[in-house]
Structure 1
Amino acid sequence: MIAWIRQRPASVGLAVLLLLLAIATRSFVPGQDSGLAAAVGLDIRELYERGQVWRLVSSVLFARGPGLPVAVLALVLGVGACERLIGTGRVLLAWIVTAVLGGLLGTAAQAAGLLTREYWTTPPATSIVLDPITPIVGVVMATSAFAGPLWRRRIRLVGFAALIVLLLYSGQPSDVNRLAAALGGLALGWVLARRRPRLVFLRSSHHEARSLLAVVLAVSAIGPVVAIVQPTGYGLLRPFGRLFRDTLPGAGALAERCARIGAEPGCGRELALARLNGPGALVLTVLPLLVALLAAFAVQRGRRVGAWLSILVNGLLALFAAVYYGLFPALGDPDQIADIRAQLTLQSILAVLVPLALVVGVLVGRRHLTARPSRQAVLVGGAVFGGATVLSAVLYVGLGTLVRAQFKPVPSVLDLLLELPQRYVPVGFLRFRRVDFVPVGPVAQLLEGWVGPLAWFALLVAGIVVARSVLGATSERDLARVRTLLQAGGRGSISWMATWPGNRYWFSADGRHAVAYREGSGVALTLGEPVGPDDGAMEAARAFAVHCDDIGLTPAFYSVRPEFAEGLGGPGAAWASVEVGEDTVIDPTSFSMKGKHWQDVRSSINRADRLGIRSVWTGWAELPLGWRTQIESISEEWVADKRLPELGFTLGGVGELVDREVRLMLAVGPGDRIEGVTSWLPTWQDGELVGLTLDFMRRRPGSPNGVMEFVIAAVIGHAAQRALRFVSLSVAPLAGASSDADDRLERLLGSLGRLLEPAYGFRSLAAYKQKFRPEHRPQVLAYADAVALPAISIAVARAYLPDITLPVLARMVGALRPEEDEDEARIRTLAAAAPQDQGAPAGEERR
């Protein structure tokens, strides 16, 4: 404990100081800090009229009520982590500088708002701020400049999203100060880290991109909750707080009191507030929030429907804000309550731009959402939502016409039609709109309160139905059958890849064999040979080809043995094949590192021993949380450094590590610092583990040279102890195809491999494996029909690069000629600009 405190003297000292001052002044007790706030709090008048600049610092040393434990926890954990990264001196400097900048810039923004009569600055003009969170936010943002690209992006994206949402939905002066401190901390971090501010696009893995996008969407969706729990607030999007605290009069009672709507002073406002009352209004408030949260959850799971739900909800919010906070006041609409000024304010602009920015972000990031819904689910969901919306409209207009006497004054059919769209708008946007008629009877009140919730609830149900469905998704039962067949007899070193997401399965009539394949461009592209015992495997492959022909697909067997490809067509009907790589296989029982050739590998092992690096054989479920976080960070930083998208198909990522049968070999240095990580896929025969295949391979940037040789040698030693038959260093994808070959398909695969080589280093990876003197076993792609070559080419390209664009595909298909065109040359030049880790081949960390 003492050592832990010594590593964080500034953060622990500030937390203790905050606690002591709170105890001495009883500022944490509600209602006991009024005098203290006036004496040391940040007050615009005291700051600018009397020049009491010391309040910029004193105001961040005290907290009110529940803010105290939050501030202490943030200091100890958040600022403590920052202190370990950038040092005590920089943390103290950042804390002081951002406290001053946050207070100055925040009060300046409020003063400017007062001059322009901004709605959100009028009540806070008399507010006194005590907020220790402001410099904490500044310290975290300043520290982000020293973090790696992965955490730098996470901190800034999620941090600013949360701060902007607080500003919009709470609108307290402290929220303005925190956002200002974050901006100040960002600038200070650039100065301290000597980084020039620049916009750099950092590529993310699909998992990371989905997680970041989902967090931002969830933070924005929870905004209304901030308004509910905040006792007071002045944010423009702060809609419904009073609904949970005040008892509002019913619309019927107000209508009885007002002989004519709007006749009495304040009657229009009271009727506008009355529409906030009742369970229907409450449900209509919450349902859009639930739909937005559902969208965030679906995005995190990779569901494409999450993108469309988010676009729909945020697009509607932007439209509502533009119309009700901008257009109507600017046009001087007579239905607008008089005390809302027809002026364009900062917050009204943000109220439109923030949801629009989310829409743009989702549109850009939707390529990471690869799980598309089935057509049946889309039809069912569309029927549920469309049917409920039509039913609600018919009920409101049709039934409302029959019970018009239950409204005051009695509306016409046209009045009901014109009022219908507002029934679907969350009531917070309508609170400044004068009402034309109010329900006084039970049926009218039911229609008024529940027409909108019915449609929104239907949208929520439809979203759940569609999100649960994935086009071509594999059932758990089929996946369990494949895993059973794999343990009975996996065929080939890549057989376990059949269990990866994205595969479909075909089972033979006798159930003894299965084929894993991916469908695209009219091609069924298999992943290796049929799974199952050796006897009957060829017959199963031929039956699968017949099945593909029956349903209009072209079969193509990817990464199979040449002898398997030769037997596919049977006598007189041979299939053509093209080499796509070589499997590099080591016999662990006869493995030896004696001789001059092994000097580099022996040196790597000795260097690791001297540096205190040890090998750890484990599984994902057995890892402590800290190690999992390190592995994810190492992987994401590798992806961020690339200028080309993350690959798939035969290349696994972090998501494939969680399989209980996949094992990990880690290189762990002093202080439990992970220097390198590899994953190993099992191959079974008759229920017995017979081999291991290298898949995931990453090393920490700056780790000692040779750390991966150390890890691979450790795995081979482990396999020798278990008397396994083989250890495969896997196939370097597309490394065997030549862009100058006579075969058109081989030329295209060679072109694809050449395009990806500068960033992913497949050929250099294949050369790197020669250190271990493996046996080379060719792997080929077998196909029956040369006419289908363009479609097969596109299917292979999309298997590895699901996000590849049509123009690039067109260039690749055009690359069936040997020469390279100018566009491809430009792409290669861009790919060559991708930074490479020194001391290892470009593809070392990727396999």
Structure 2
Amino acid sequence: MRRWARDRAVGIALAAVTLVVAVATRSLLGPDAGTRQAFGLSVRALVEEGRVGTLLGSLLLASGPVELILVLAALVLVVGGFERLVGHGRVLGLWLLTGIGGGLLGVGLEAAGLLARGVWTTPPITLATLQPETPVLGVLLAGSAWCGPLWRRRIRLIGLTALVVLLLYSGQPEDLDHLAGAFVGLVAGAVMTRRSARPVFPRSSSHESRTLLAAGIAVSAVGPFIAAVQPRGYGLLRPLGRLFHDPLPFAAGVRERCAADPTAARCLEAARLAHLNGPGPLLLSVLPLLVLLVAAAAVLQGRAVGAWAATAVGGLLAVLGAVYYGLLPVLGDPDQVQDLRAAVTVQSVLAVLVPLAVAVASFLGRRWCGVLPTRRALVVGGASVVAAAGIGIGAWLLVGLLVRGQFHPTPTAAQLLLDLPQRFVPTGFLRFRRPEIVPVGPVADLLSGGIGAAFWTVLLVAVAGVALSVRRTTTPRDQERLRALLREGSNGSIGWMTTWAGNRTWFSPDGAHAIAYRDAGGVALTVGEPAGPAEGADDAARAFALHCDDRGLIPAFYAVRPEFAAALGGPGAAWATVEVGEDTIIDPGAFTMRGKHWQDVRSSFNRADRAGVRAMWTDWASLPLVQRTRIEAISEEWVAERRLPELGFTLGGQAELEDPEVRLMLAVGPGDRVEAVTSWLPTWRDGELVGLTLDFMRRDPVSMNGVMEFLIASVIGIAQQRGLEFVSLSVAPLSGVDEQGEDRVERLLAVIARRLEPAYGFRSLAAYKEKFKPEHRTQVLAVPDAVALPAVTVAVARAYLPEPVLRGARRIVDALRPEAPAAAGADR
């Protein structure tokens, strides 16, 4: 505890000073008006009265007990946490610089806003603010410069987005000070580390991209909540948030308006509108935002329905905002509404653009949400929403006609029909439109306020229900059968990859073999050879080819042995093949690190011993949460450094680490800190483990040199102790293709490999594996007809890279064409 406190001395000291100031000023439960004016920062206090002390005083006093507790915790955890990273003196300097600098910048911007009221509505000049969070946020953004690329991006992107949203929706002076302090911290950190202060957007994995998209959707839903419950606000997007605020008067408001003259028009209008109020309109103001929150949670889990729900709701809110502010004057009524087009402002435009941006981002981000719902859940959910809409519409028209005496004035069927859309829209969107008919009876009240709330409630439940369902390409029973066959014999080092998500499984008629494949644009692209006993594997493969032919699919066996490919067609019917890589096999029984060739591997063990790094053989379920989080961070940083997204197909990611049959070899340094990680897939025969195959490889950029050699050699040592037959360093995809080869498809694959080489290093990885003196076993792609090879090659590219790089499309197409004169090729 002493060491923990010593590492956070500045943060603890600042928290103690803040607490002492709160006690001394009797502000534990919040300062009184005099104390706030004495300590608070405002344009008048700083500019007109010259009270410079408020720049520091406003940093030491909180507005209430909840804020005080949060600030004390943040000082110890956030400021103290970065104190360990950047040092005591630096963190204290950053706290003072960002707090005072943020206050000066915030007051300056507020004063500028007073001179330009048409651009930014500003608070009163005397409004004093307390801003103890400003220097904490400044230290957080400044400290991001010392973080790795993953956390630097997370802190800057999510932190700045949250602060900007608060400013736009709430617009309080302290919101402006918080963003100003964060900006000062961002610049200060960049200057001190000589790194760019601008937010960078390196490549993210699908998981990280989903996380950021979900955060954006959630923030867009929380922002209007803030604006709706905020008694005062000056933000640019406050108009959008106020659309979700129920503007209808309650009984107290009616009494206030009718106290002086019960016959006045103001009193009669309030009494009329009060009939529209109730639980239904209140729920209707909240439910669309709750649907967005559920959609954000679904996107975080990779559910496709989340992306589609956010797209639909965001688009709907954009259209409603455009109608409300007169950008789409569908509901315009010159007798009831002033010329809204003349009142179009930056605020009203942003109120439309923000939900529209959410809709567009969700639509574009649907590619990261590949988890589809079951057909049953989709049908039930869709039918429920349609039924809720139909029942609501029918009830409004039929019941409304039966009890039309409970409306004022008594409506016709046409008037009920024209009024119907307003029943499904939050009342805040309709505040400039005087209601044509008002319910004055109990049934009419229930009908008017209930059908919209009921529809949105059903939609909310339907989205949540559909998101919880998952359509599986392979059922749990099929997965169990596949794993049982793999234990009997997988006929290849990559056999365990057939269990990965995204693969479909075909079983032979006798159930003795299974083939995993992906339906990629009319191509059934397999993952290795059939699972099951070696005897009869060829017959199973031919039966699979017939199965594909019956369904209009092109069978393509990827990464199989040439001997297996030669036996597929039978006598006189050889399949077309092209080499795609080489499996690198090590015999653990013959493994030794003696000799000059093994100097690098031996040195890695010596470095590990000096650095206190040990090898840890484990599995994902056995790891504590802190080490799992560390592995995820290492993986995300690795992805962030690449210019292209993560590959798939035969290259596993974080999700594949969670398989209980997959083993992990970790490099663990002092303090149980994970420095590097490798994963190893099992290969079985007759129920016995006979081999291990390397899959996942990630390391911390600052880990010791040779950490991967250390881990791989440690695994080979374990395999040697257990008497395993082989250790495979896996196939480096597309490493064996020749760009000058005679076959067009081989040239095409070579072009793809060359385009991906700078980012993924297939050939450099193959060269790296030579350190372990492996045996090379050729792997080929086999298809029944050479004419199908171009389509199959495109399927391979799509399997590895779901988001193809369009700039390379021309070169890929050029590789398919016969050799042509350079001039002709250039003309084309």
TM, length-normalised to structure 2: 0.90
Unaligned residue ranges in structure 1 (runs of 5+): 827-847
Per mean C-alpha deviation after superposition, the further-off stretch among 450-459 and 681-690 is 450-459
Tell me the residue number matched to 1:136. Answer: 136
1:83 aligns with 2:88: no
Which residue in the other structure is 2:791 paired with? 791
> Following the alignment from structure 2 to structure 1, what is the Cα–Cα distance between the partners of residues 249 and 88?
52
Distance in 2 (CA, whole Å) between partners of 1:259 and 1:469 is 59
TM-aligned CA deviation for residue 428 of structure 1: 3.1
Deviation at 1:357, TM superposition (A): 3.1
More displaced stretch, 189-198 vs 710-719 = 189-198
Q: Could you say which residue in structure 2 is the equivalent of 1:451? A: 451
Q: CA deviation at 1:263?
A: 5.6
Aligned to 1:249: 251
The answer (yes or no) to whether the contact 1:74–1:136 under 8 Å persists in 2 is yes
Counterpart for residue 62 of structure 1: 61
CA-to-aligned-CA distance 1:120-174 (integer Å, 9 cap, x gap): 9576655432231122112211222232221111112211232233334444332
Is contact 2:246–2:285 with CA below 8 Å preserved after alignment?
no
The answer to whether residue 640 in structure 2 is matched with residue 640 in structure 1 is: yes
> Does the residue aligned with 1:236 lie in a helix, a strand or coil?
helix
- Which deviates the most, 812-821 or 215-224? 812-821
Please say if 1:236 is aligned against 2:235: no
CA offsets per residue over residues 12-51 of structure 1, 9 Å max, x none? 1111111222223331225x63332122122333233212
**Counterpart check, 1:621 vs 2:621:** yes
Q: After alignment, is 115-124 or 680-689 more displaced?
A: 115-124
Change (3 A) 1:236 1:120: farther
Q: Deviations over 1:307-355 (max 9, x none)?
A: 22212222222333333246499989654599x9974555444433332
- Distance in 1, matches of 2:663 and 2:280, equals 53
The more displaced of 501-510 and 486-495 is 486-495
Which residue in the other structure is 2:49 paired with? 50
Shift of 1:88: 2.4
Q: Structure 1 pair 592/734, CA: closer, same or farther in 2 (3 Å)?
A: same
Q: How well do the aligned residues superpose, as a CA RMSD in angstroms?
A: 3.5
2:59–2:131 contact (8 Å) kept in structure 1: yes
Contact 2:153–2:199 (CA<8 Å) still a contact in 1? Answer: no
1:254–1:270 Cα contact (<8 Å) kept:
no
Q: Secondary structure at the match of 2:729?
A: strand
How far does the alpha carbon of each residue in 1:735-761 deviate from its partner, in whole angstroms, 9 at most, with x for none? Answer: 111122222322222221122112211
Secondary structure of 1:473's counterpart equals coil
Q: Which moved more, 1:359-368 or 1:289-298?
A: 359-368
**Does the residue aligned with 2:174 lie in a helix, a strand or coil?**
helix
Matched positions, count: 820
TM-score with structure 1 setting the length: 0.89
CA contact (8 A) 2:505 2:517 kept: yes
Contact 1:528 1:558 in 2 (8 A): yes
After superposition, give the CA deviation of every residue in 1:268-327 in whole Å (9 maximum; x if it has no partner).
Answer: 46655764x322123322321232122212222223332222122222223333332464
Give the SS at the match of 2:615.
Answer: strand
Q: Deviations over 1:243-265 (max 9, x none)?
A: 79x992399999999999x9622
Query: Aligned partners of 1:191 and 1:50: how far apart in 2?
Result: 33
- Calculate percent identity across the aligned residue pairs: 59
How far residue 801 of structure 1 moved from its aligned partner, in angstroms, is 0.7
Matched with 1:510 is 510
| TM-superposed deviation, 1:607 | 2.2
Corresponding residue SS for 2:567: helix
SS at structure 2 position matched to 1:741: coil
Alpha-carbon offset, residue 584 of structure 1 = 0.6
CA distance in 2, matches of 1:341, 1:748: 57
The CA distance in 2 between the partners of 1:216 and 1:23, in whole Å, is 39
Matched residue, 2:535? 535
3-state DSSP of counterpart to 2:617: strand
Matching residue of 2:688: 688
C-alpha spacing 1:636/1:783, structure 2 compared with 1 (3 Å): same
CA contact (8 A) 1:588 1:724 kept: yes
Q: Which moved more, 1:683-692 or 1:556-565?
A: 683-692
Matched with 1:716 is 716
SS in 2 for 1:265: helix
Using the TM superposition, give the Cα deviation of residue 394 of structure 1 relative to its aligned residue in structure 2, in angstroms: 4.0
Task: State the alpha-carbon separation in 2 of the partners of residues 539 and 349 from structure 1.
Answer: 66
Number of the residue aligned with 1:400: 400
What is the CA deviation profile of residues 329-385 of structure 1, one whole-angstrom value per residue up to 9, with x for unaligned ones? Answer: 9989654599x9974555444433332333343344333233455777666654443
Q: What is the one-letter code of the residue matched to 2:617?
A: W
Matched, 1:436 2:439: no
The answer to whether the 8 Å contact 2:246/2:281 transfers is: no
Which residue of structure 2 aligns with residue 831 of structure 1?
Answer: none
**Counterpart residue identity of residue 249, structure 1:** A
Partner residue in 2 for 1:812 = 812
- Give the corresponding residue for 1:485: 485
| 1:291 to 1:500, Cα distance in 2 relative to 1, 3 A | same
- Higher deviation after alignment, 182-191 or 380-389: 380-389
Q: CA deviation at 1:722?
A: 1.6
Bigger mean CA offset, 181-190 vs 327-336: 327-336
> Residues 479-525 of structure 1: CA distance to partner in whole angstroms, max 9, x if unpaired?
22222222232221111111111111111223232111100110100
| Residues 123, 705 of structure 1: alpha-carbon distance in 2 compared, 3 angstrom cutoff | closer
Query: Matched residues in 2 for 1:770 and 1:665: separation?
Result: 20
Q: Is the 8 A contact 1:392 1:455 kept in 2?
A: yes
1:94 shift after superposition: 2.3
Contact 2:275 2:438 in 1 (8 A): no
Question: Is residue 123–residue 172 contact of structure 2 (8 Å, CA) maintained in 1?
Answer: no
Aligned match of 2:223: 223
1:773 matched to 2:786: no
Evaluate the alpha carbon distance shift between residue 453 and residue 332 of structure 1 in structure 2; reply closer, same or farther with a 3 A threshold: closer
Q: Cα 1:241–1:43, aligned 2, differ >3 Å: closer, same or farther?
A: farther
Corresponding residue for 1:657? 657
Q: Does 1:264 align with 2:273?
A: no
What is the rounded CA distance, in whole Å, between the counterparts of 2:820 and 2:585 in structure 1?
34
- Equivalent residue for 2:422? 422
- Greater Cα offset, 192-201 or 712-721: 192-201
Corresponding letter in the other structure for 2:35:
L
Offset of 1:772 from its aligned partner?
0.5
Question: Where does residue 745 of structure 2 map in the other structure?
Answer: 745
Aligned-partner Cα distance in 2 for 1:309–1:633? 30
Residue 421 (structure 1) shift:
2.4
Q: CA deviation at 1:230?
A: 5.7
Matches within 5 A, 1:139-538: 139-198=139-198, 200-226=200-226, 235-239=238-242, 248-249=250-251, 264-265=265-266, 267-268=268-269, 275=276, 277-325=277-325, 327=327, 335-336=336-337, 343-344=343-344, 347-372=347-372, 381-431=381-431, 433-464=433-464, 466-468=466-468, 473-538=473-538
C-alpha distance in 2 between matches for 1:672 and 1:714: 18
Change (3 A) 1:787 1:454: farther
Q: How many angstroms apart in 2 are the aligned matches of 1:142 and 1:794?
A: 45
- Map of 1:754 onto structure 2: 754
